[in-house]
Amino acid sequence: MANDGMPQEKAVLDALRTVKDPDLHKDIVALNFVKDLKIKDGRVSFTLELTTPACPVKKDMEQWAREAVLKVSGVREVQIQMTSSVSRSTLAAEKQSVAGIKNILAVGSGKGGVGKTTVAVNLSIALAQKGAAVGLMDADIYGPNVPLMMGIAGRPHAIHDRIQTLSNYGVSVMSMGFLTGEDTPLIWRGPMLHNVIQQFIRQVDWGELDYLLIDLPPGTGDVQLSLTQTVPLMGAVVVSTPQDVALQDARKAILMFRQVRVDILGIVENMSYFQCPKCNERTHIFSHGGGATTAANYGVPFLGEVPLDVSLREGGDEGKPIVAADPKAPAAQAFAQIAEKVAAQVSIANLNSSTMIIE
């Protein structure tokens, strides 16, 4: 007897195989997203475990899965539990991974002042808002801006030789600014800088993190090169503004990361346009489209545009990042979408590297 009109596991799984993850380009059964499948009296229940809580198509995937299973004959009801488990970078494992941290990402740019710290801060908070465990390390030892922008003041303490992070907006943070004060100039040479970064990674108690973002200092010199080699980075987000000079420096940053074999997760174009708060008209103050063109030329993803917004700057200065302070503002929504794209790129890179190892 094949069955008594009741749906069978194979039929349900075959139906679920028609649902593809649009970023990972594989079906959700092959990706091992389907867990705890139970079928009883025409009632089907299962868990869909995605690779990030920041999945841009979480709702769609749930709906596609439900529709697919409802088509199986005999199915009367479908219950889906949505969950996620962030994939761990296998690339990081090769380069001395850090226990507890699944993915370490750098936010860099060739040029100074294009908004790296602003992007790193808002992306971290956006990822945390979506339910990910997130840390933010300020690698700008000479000019740490993260404490101010994250609205954190104070000194970290140590427990059993492990330096404890300070946190705000759901993000665990470490910065030289906590240790020296933000206005103390530091004149350190290469080896010492290397040691500080090592300590920030290995002696800080980051706990369990899905994503650790690293805010890099500006430039593509020795300091940045040494940083990218000291830390087991799985990828980098490159920030640029639309002007040619900034894009030229962004290209340098892409080449620097490539030189040390760090994946480029994509380019963010900051200060892309000004949206008039009165009439909503967009003005492209520094020309337009350069970030997307540069991304296309270098074969890297374009992650999105962030508008010029006075409240973004004010929020930064006051330690109230726009993503937390005014999540509905266009700039905040842009960051939220960019965060989803970054998370998707991390999942794609991890899937590709793990299948490369298996195959």
Task: Give φ, ψ of 35 to 5 degrees.
Answer: -130, 160
| 312 makes contact with ligand ATP (CB under 6 A) | yes
Instruction: Compute the radius of gyration of the chain from its Cα atoms.
Output: 22
Give 123's contacts (C-beta < 8 A, 6+ positions apart). Answer: 107, 213, 237, 335, 338, 339, 342
Chain-centre distance for alpha carbon 189:
31
The binder of ligand ATP chosen from 268, 308, 324, 346 (CB under 6 A) = 308
DSSP state of 66: H
Closer to ligand ATP by CB, 87 or 117: give it. Answer: 117
Question: What residues numbered 35-94 form the site for ligand ATP, per CB under 6 A?
Answer: none
Give 206's contacts (C-beta < 8 A, 6+ positions apart). Answer: 98, 100, 101, 135, 165, 172, 174, 212
Give residue for tokens 């509905």.
328
The binder of Mg ion chosen from 117, 240, 241, 353 (CB under 5 A) = 117
The CA-atom distances, in angstroms, between 258 and each of 111, 229, 302 are 17, 12, 17
Question: What residues numbered 206-235 form the site for ligand ATP, per CB under 6 A?
Answer: 218
| 112 makes contact with ligand ATP (CB under 6 A) | yes
> Residue with CB nearest Mg ion?
117
**Exposure b/e, 62-97, CB count within 10 A at least 16 = b:** bebbbebbeebebbeebebeeebebbbbbbbeebeb
| 236 makes contact with ligand ATP (CB under 6 A) | no
| 270 makes contact with Mg ion (CB under 5 A) | no
Residue 313 contacts which entry, Mg ion, ligand ATP, none (Cβ below 5-8 A, type-dependent): ligand ATP
Closest to 217 in 3D by CA, of 325, 109, 137: 109
SS3 call for 25: coil
The binder of ligand ATP chosen from 22, 100, 113, 190 (CB under 6 A) = 113
Residue 308 Cβ, how far from ligand ATP at the closest point, in Å? 4
Contact 138, 246 (CB under 8 A): no
| 145 makes contact with ligand ATP (CB under 6 A) | yes
Closer to Mg ion by CB, 91 or 306: give it. Answer: 306
Closer to ligand ATP by CB, 97 or 333: give it. Answer: 333
| 124 makes contact with ligand ATP (CB under 6 A) | no
Closer to ligand ATP by CB, 7 or 315: give it. Answer: 315
Closer to ligand ATP by CB, 16 or 127: give it. Answer: 127
The binder of ligand ATP chosen from 23, 305, 309, 340 (CB under 6 A) = 309
Residues near ligand ATP (CB under 6 A) are 109, 112-118, 140, 143, 145, 218, 270-271, 306, 308-309, 312-313, 316
Q: Which positions lie near Mg ion, rule CB under 5 A?
A: 116-117, 145
